[in-house]
Amino acid sequence: VSPSRLAVISNKTAIATSEDGGCSWRKAPSLTGQDRVRLNDLFFLGPNHGWVVGDNGYIAMTSDGGLRWRVQTAAVAAHFTGVHFVDPLSGYVVGRRTSGFGSVVLHTSNAGESWELQQTIENDLLEDLYVGESGDAWAAGGVLDVTKGQRVFRKKAAAGATVPLPQ
């Protein structure tokens, strides 16, 4: 969140925060709708805006640094394992399908008020996603190629390649 303000997933079931650079920690208030859901990834864009994802299609966001969390509705049910936002409105979630073998990629252009299924990726288990300042994206477990403007994802043959995301 910031050098002195930190947030982490604790025991896969809760979020812990620190205001003193990690010297002391406190459990964040319980997340709405998170009962018995395993949390898998946490991403903050600045000190206030953050998202957490987990199993069974769980996505929640905060706009107050983690004091209160609001559940968001995903376009599909999946075990979400990675979340990354490019700016306060545009973000991506990756995860494993709940049935069959493969992964899904979801995108939002409105801070998660709605999530669109970008594509189901067969035979790859994507675990996490990172989007750099240049707009290039890397996915752990596979590499995505994005056709600008169409938001069509394809598997790249070369691992470690970078790909531009749609603007």
Strand ordering across the sheet containing 39-45 = 39-45, 49-54, 58-62, 70-72
Q: Is the pLDDT of residue 79 over 90?
A: yes
Is pTM beyond 0.85? Reply is: no
pLDDT band at 167 (very low <50, low <70, confident <90, very high): very low
Nearest-angstrom CA–CA distance, 66 and 49: 8
